[in-house]
Structure 1
Amino acid sequence: MKSESFVKSHLIRYKWQYLFGTILLSISSLLQLQIPKFLETFADHVEASTLTQTILIQLAIYITLIGFGIAFFRSSGRIFIFRLSRILEKKVRRSLFTHWVKMPSQYYNKQRIGDLMSHAINDVNLIRDVAMRGIFLTIEAFILITVAVITMAITINVWLTLLVILPLPGLTYLTYKFRLQIQERSTKVQEAIGHLTSTVQEFCSGIRVVKSYSQENHERQRFKRDNQHNVKANQQLILTNSMFNSISIGIVGLSYLLSIFFGGLLVMNGTISLGEFVAFNTYLSLLIAPVENLGKVINTLQRGWASNIRLRNILNTEPEVKDESMVQEDGEVHGEIHIENLSFSYPESNEVALKNIHLTVPRGSSLAIVGRVGSGKTTLINVLTRMYNPPKGTIFYDGRDIYEIPLKTLRKSVGIVPQENFLFSSTIAKNIAFDPEHYSREDVAEAAKLSQVYNNIIEFPKKFDTPLGERGISLSGGQRQRVSIARSLIKEASIFIFDDSLSAVDGETEEKILQGMKEKMNEQTTIIVSHRISSIKHADQIIVMEEGRIAERGTHESLLKEKGLYRRMYEKQTFGHENIIGD
């Protein structure tokens, strides 16, 4: 169910554990309700002038023992229920992250990192609060209020009890009036937190750009604006909560006023004794905290429900790129690629990015893709690796439609070095061996040698165990790029794709990398996207992209003879006027 509550399903699953926690709280509540009886006895003895030292000591011992009992059972119930709430927190956060792992990369193009972090932290914490404080206070309040009211009515005076609890239904109306406002303002607070988190995340990631352009003051003003917006959103929520809690306390105070006034009249006319009056007001004082807590619980429930809706909306978002129901898990991808009449547009875009692409790449051969900026090179790579869904019946691997191949099998069979060389904040070795398969240190070193980054790594004090900063910032651009290449080369893939992945290295290093790749990938299919002719001139097949179409195709020699776009690119680079053509 799209609106199913996380807490509800959690309560059903752990119903027996919650029942045990309820029993512990019930014992604690029942023990609390014994204290008014002892105070009644004390007051009656005082009124009758029969209080002795023995009676006083006995009452003190009984109240002390009951106090220890209350502390033990209440703490035990609290620990038990709070522990269950942490289980829910872990479960929801795990479900959220698992869902995000399944989502395609295009999903993250539409999301801000700060919003995602806010969902994973703040929204999950609010769900936990419902299962923790919300359930704990609700159980305790229900037991205390129910048993106390019944006891007051039976043992003291039923009419006084009815009169005192008469204002309490006003809490129901109050809850109804504040419910939507609390939900709305809670949502605005979460949005403000997400926006503020995104601002901080972008600043930290782009600190070098900020410093380079002397934009510190601009970023301070931007943070100040977002921070103030967050403060205002929280102030509005605090105002609503304060009004709700204040009126709730006022309703409780009205009940207490009625008890003092009319209870006093009953004592004066002899309807109830002084001890019963003391006991009655003690019962009522025990009700004040639970009734006040109900206001907090309702506030928590409203905020939790708003978080529940947000998280459910995320979890009910189906990934656009996923396995078809008829996909079988067996089978491998060997490397033959066939594209037939492929036309493609990005989601939510009316512009055609690829037009009538026909292409065959035999197994073990090499394909090079060149073209101007925005010609469709990276788009073609995206649909080949199913980062985006191509039309059915247009892309085939080994004669099988791409939709018949499980995503896990496809991704395992393709080693790709994207344009953005992302490195994780771990060691160099872990970045290179970033794969489900286990690789030895020798495998890691061999991949580093092939990508011509080995000599740089062993110069570091900790060599392959050198920790990298955020996004590998401690390495140069060329080193990051070569570590990314090593991460791809270490895979036992049948297809390798290099999307303009040699742009940050010099010509001599490039030649060494290409030679090493050629020796390693003599049986693998290789696709190289580049703006450098030197990187692709030895490819078995070269295609030139222009406005989403294949404008030219052939070998290096045959394309030079055509005197077309490829020839012009070659001449510009040969004469030193390098034209940067990349996506």
Structure 2
Amino acid sequence: MDIIPVCSICSLRIRMEYSRMRDIIKWFWSYYREYPYVLAVMIFLTPVQAAIQVTIPRMMEFTVDFVKNREVSGNAAAVWLDNIGQQLGLSSAATFTLTLVALGLVASILYAYVQGHRAWMNLRLEWLFRQKAFNGITDKGPDFFNRFRTGDLVTRMTDDVAEKLSWFACSGIFRFYEALLMVTFALAMMISIDPKLTLWTAGPLPLLILIFFKSASVLDKRYDYLQKRISKFNDVIEACFSGVRVVKAYTREKAQKQKFSRAAEERRKAEISAIKVHTIVESLYMYIWQFGIIIVLLAGGYMVINSNLSLGKLIAFIYYVVYMIFPMFDIGQFLVKSRQSTVSIKRLMELEKVKPMVCDNGTKTIKSDIKGDLSLENVTFSFPESNRKIIDNISLDIKAGSTVALVGRVGSGKSWLVNLLPRLADPSGGTIRLDGYDLRQFNLADLRRNIGYVPQEPALFSDTIRNNIIFGRDDITDPIVEWAVEVSQLKDEVATFPDGLDTAIGTRGVAISGGQK
């Protein structure tokens, strides 16, 4: 039996973690680069703030030793600072006190400044995540929406972005960055005071590293499962509410309640399962490190009693260990949240990787003198990654001004043949021509702008009647809207609504009849 050395396993996991973190930073970088000034503030001022913060315990050391011994300690920094104070006409006590106040004030101002930029960046990145995801989704083809249900997409756009990514994207990463700096600077200061006591104090570190490696895969699995349960939960809600008329008509309320209850219970169990591991890991990172305080008090106190360590240095040591408690908590929180965020990033990248069914590479525009002759030459269509042909080798010539009716059995491809004309999808084989030009040669927006398309199932939005008629076009004036209402014989119907054209009709037109839709 082959035996794999433990160090090889650790090395492999470190490489895997490095690769994972590199992918995360690369994904975030595409958003960070939009705001270089804010990024520069957080990158360059955080070390300055951390460096000033860790000098405060050394000043406490100098002050305590001065008060206890009635003289400045032999530390070169203390002597240099005292000399500057004397040149300014200040006593040693005043010099150390004013320096402590100044350092605390500067550190507080820098911390508030950096924190403000973090908070702003969190909100801005959340907006960018949502905007990019939404813009990408609207460019996808019908196959995309067959693969991802509405509830799942809503979960990815809300829970994955707002709950899992918005805080981690900036504050999570840069609090980790700050925590690493604080731990590094504090350890450097502790080593400069007493290397042996530092070694004793840092005893819990290997245990914390081991906890991270042991918990990483468990966190990944539980967060992935949790996000899938949340998506399923939202799917159930969306399906029930969007089809509430059918549910009512067939008295399926009880079945829907049971289905919702099962989805809610699955989500509850997944939430509890993830929170258990989350809480354990964060607690271990925060509280194991506090054993360092006990070590400092015991070992450091013994050294002070035996005159091997000054009281000021012991106090500075205690400050540094306390300083590192919350950074260690931030590191633990980062390691937990990074697993959670990795799952959410993968779910967003999964949406990004689905290629649109139609590429807008055409440059030709439709001119006013267009005739409108359509020609279908050996047109075949099937969904990507599917061998089933929905349309198989259709050839057809339609002259401008003529009327054509497509007749066939259910599922024979009539709707999809029509969908190919505004390029909701492109043929898998063959060509569709307009006045002799391949449809793919035309600019997509211009082509669709010149096609009147009425789907067999009306799709209405939760808005007013007027806005549903205009449908996002700013160039439509009120006279044109009124003309459209009159032509479609809706004038008398609209007059019966309380607010006329400004009446809200609810999601999918739930407040109006099928004929009115």
Q: TM-score interval w.r.t. the shorter chain? A: 0.7 to 0.9
Give TM-score scaled by structure 2 length: 0.83
Match of 2:238 in 1: 201
- Deviation per CA, 1:396-446: give whole Å up to 9, x if none: 211122232332232112111111101111111111112546111100111
Cα pair distance change 1:347/1:297, threshold 3 Å: closer
Counterpart of 2:169, as a letter, is: A
Match of 2:199 in 1: 162
Query: Is 1:25 aligned to 2:16, yes or no?
Result: no
**What does 1:446-461 correspond to in 2, within 5 Å?**
446-461=483-498
Q: Which is helix-richer, 1 or 2?
A: 2
User: Percent identity among equivalent residues?
Assistant: 30
Query: Is 1:36 aligned to 2:57, yes or no?
Result: yes
**What does 1:150-549 correspond to in 2, within 5 Å?**
150-154=188-192, 156-323=193-360, 325=361, 327-332=362-367, 334-347=371-384, 350-434=387-471, 436=473, 438-480=475-517
Distance 1:339 1:59 in 2: 88
Match of 1:141 in 2: 179
Distance 2:409 2:437 in 1: 31
Q: Is the 8 A contact 1:114 1:198 kept in 2?
A: yes
SS in 1 for 2:205: coil
Counterpart of 1:106, as a letter, is: D
Q: How many Å apart are 1:34 and its aligned residue?
A: 4.3
Q: Is the 8 A contact 2:61 2:312 kept in 1?
A: yes
| More displaced 10-residue stretch of structure 1: 140-149 or 329-338 | 329-338
Counterpart of 1:408, as a letter, is: A
Distance 2:300 2:25 in 1: 47
Q: How many Å apart are 1:208 and its aligned residue?
A: 2.1
Q: Is the 8 A contact 1:2 1:316 kept in 2?
A: no
Match of 2:18 in 1: none
Distance 1:287 1:356 in 2: 71
Cα pair distance change 1:364/1:4, threshold 3 Å: farther
Distance 1:212 1:393 in 2: 45
Distance 2:176 2:25 in 1: 20
Query: Is 1:5 aligned to 2:42, yes or no?
Result: no
Cα pair distance change 1:355/1:450, threshold 3 Å: same
Match of 2:132 in 1: 95
Distance 1:2 1:275 in 2: 45
Match of 1:531 in 2: none
Structure 1, unmatched stretches of 5+, are 481-583
Q: How many Å apart are 1:12 and its aligned residue?
A: 5.1
**What does 1:114-125 correspond to in 2, within 5 Å?**
114-125=151-162
Counterpart of 1:135, as a letter, is: I
Q: How many Å apart are 1:218 and its aligned residue?
A: 1.8
Q: How many Å apart are 1:348 and its aligned residue?
A: 5.4
Q: Is the 8 A contact 2:375 2:398 kept in 1?
A: yes
Q: Is the 8 A contact 2:143 2:383 kept in 1?
A: no
Q: How many Å apart are 1:15 and its aligned residue?
A: 4.8
| More displaced 10-residue stretch of structure 1: 54-63 or 333-342 | 54-63
Cα pair distance change 1:426/1:59, threshold 3 Å: same
Q: Is the 8 A contact 2:381 2:429 kept in 1?
A: no
Q: How many Å apart are 1:8 and its aligned residue?
A: 3.3
Distance 1:176 1:379 in 2: 51
Q: Is the 8 A contact 1:345 1:353 kept in 2?
A: yes
SS in 1 for 2:452: strand
Q: Is the 8 A contact 1:6 1:127 kept in 2?
A: no
Larger radius of gyration: 1
SS in 1 for 2:463: coil
Distance 1:354 1:35 in 2: 76
Q: How many Å apart are 1:225 and its aligned residue?
A: 0.9
1:79 to 112, 116, 120: 116
Cα pair distance change 1:439/1:395, threshold 3 Å: same
Distance 2:283 2:124 in 1: 33
Q: Is the 8 A contact 2:380 2:389 kept in 1?
A: yes
Counterpart of 1:143, as a letter, is: L
The size of the alignment, in residue pairs, is: 474
Structure 2, unmatched stretches of 5+, are 1-21, 72-90
CA RMSD of superposed structures (Å): 2.9
Q: How many Å apart are 1:296 and its aligned residue?
A: 0.4
SS in 2 for 1:359: strand
| More displaced 10-residue stretch of structure 1: 269-278 or 390-399 | 390-399
Give TM-score scaled by structure 1 length: 0.74
Q: Which is strand-richer, 1 or 2?
A: 1
- Deviation per CA, 1:47-106: give whole Å up to 9, x if none: 5599xxx99999888766655544332121111122123222222221111111111123
